Amino acid sequence: MKLHHYYRSSASYRVRIALGLKGLAYETVAIDLKPGVNAQRSAEYLALNPEGLVPVLQDGAVTLTQSLAIIEYLDETHPVPPLLPRAPAARARVRGLALVVACEMAPLNNSGVLSYLKGTLGLDEAAVNAWYARWIARGFEALEQEVASTSGDGLHMFGSEVTLADVCIVPQMYNARRFQCDLAPYPRLRGICAHLESLPAFARAVPEAFEGA
């Protein structure tokens, strides 16, 4: 498999974690999202992915976009270990936790949006940081409450096994730390992430391991 990604993209980081959890070997192609480079908007990359976003996973002749779709594909084609529980209600709870990150937090703070805020709207750094912190807080406040009932052991978002929700929370927590958001109000999420980050599949997927690669 071939993963087109950017080391700091949280969506890319999610897929690297999932590939690691499934024990799958993959090669990487670095797509440099830095302003001024914008490799994701090159004609060559847009031919691969008209969305102009990372990641893209190529599995033989199959080309897939959107990190959650890719991860569900990996879970369906390589079912062990599972990233979703079996019961429909439990699956929906796990997907719901993952979607809080993927729909309510990450899209508001990705590089395209931050560029628009700085460039088109002319926001200064303080205003951009306040924007970033606003959506981190809105999502983490909800998740901190939800995991009080969904986590089975204080080490996972749901139950006591690694799921799709864990794959999503770790890159979001990484970004929140990078942007120096106040994480004091979220002791449960911090405890969960501290555990997850100690697991090999998560540790091998960190951005630092992929800078420029």
| Positions in the binding site for its own copies (CB under 8 A) | 50-53, 59, 62, 64-66, 68-70, 72-73, 76-77, 88-89, 91-93, 95-96, 99-100, 102-104, 106-108, 112-113, 116, 120-121, 123, 127, 130-131, 134, 138, 141-142, 145-146
Q: How far is CA 120 from CA 40, 101, 112, 114, in A?
A: 19, 26, 11, 10
Q: Do 159 and 152 touch, CB atoms closer than 8 A? A: yes
In angstroms, the CA 162 to CA 150 distance is 13
In angstroms, the CA 154 to CA 164 distance is 16
Residue 32 or 110 having the CB closest to its own copies: 110
| CB 212 to its own copies: min, Å | 26
Q: How far apart are the first and last CA of the chain?
A: 15
Q: Which of 48, 47, 18, 45 lies closest to 32, judged by CA?
A: 45
Residue 50 or 212 having the CB closest to its own copies: 50
Q: E strands along the chain, which residues?
A: 2-5, 27-30, 56-59, 62-65
| CB 75 to its own copies: min, Å | 9
Q: Are strands 62-65 and 27-30 parallel, antiparallel or unpaired?
A: unpaired
| CB 183 to its own copies: min, Å | 18
| CB 200 to its own copies: min, Å | 26
Residue 149 or 212 having the CB closest to its own copies: 149
| CB 44 to its own copies: min, Å | 15
Residue 91 or 199 having the CB closest to its own copies: 91
Residue 76 or 211 having the CB closest to its own copies: 76
